[in-house]
Structure 1
Amino acid sequence: MSKFVFTSESVSEGHPDKVCDAISDAILDNLLEQDSESHVACETLATTGTVIVSGEIRSKGTVDVEKV
C-alpha cells in the first residue's frame, strides 16, 4: 500500500486570490483578442487599497490595465 499526502486549497468568491486571478485573466484575454501570438506572464498582487499588476508582456495589442 502506497502512502501519499493529498493537499487542497479552496477559496471563496471575493477572496483576494480570486480577484487577482480574474484581473490577470482579463488582461490575458484582452491581449489575445487583439493578437493571438501574445506572450503574457502577468501577475496581480493585492492588499488593502492597492493592486499591482506586474510581469512580462509581448504583444502587438495594447491594454489599459486600469480599465480592466
Structure 2
Amino acid sequence: MMHAPTERLEEVVALLPGAERPTILPLAGDKQRVAMHIVSSETLFWETMEKLKALGASSILVLPIEKMME
C-alpha cells in the first residue's frame, strides 16, 4: 500500500506488476494523490523502492500475505 501522485499512476503501476490491476482509492481532501493497494512479489518490490520514491510514492506499507486465493 502507498500514496502516489495521480499524474504518475501508470508509471507506478508499470514498476510493480501485480496479481491483477491495483486498487486505487481517493484520499480525503487531496485530489492530487491517491491510495494504491498492489499485490506484488517481495523481491520485485524491494528492487523498485527507490524508483517508487522518485515517482513521488510515500506512506509505503509492506504487509505479509498469509494466503492468496485465485
TM-score by length of 1: 0.35
TM-score by length of 2: 0.34
Larger radius of gyration: 1
Q: Which structure's relative contact order is higher, taking Cα pairs within 8 Å and 6+ residues apart?
A: 2
Return the structure number with greater helix share: 2
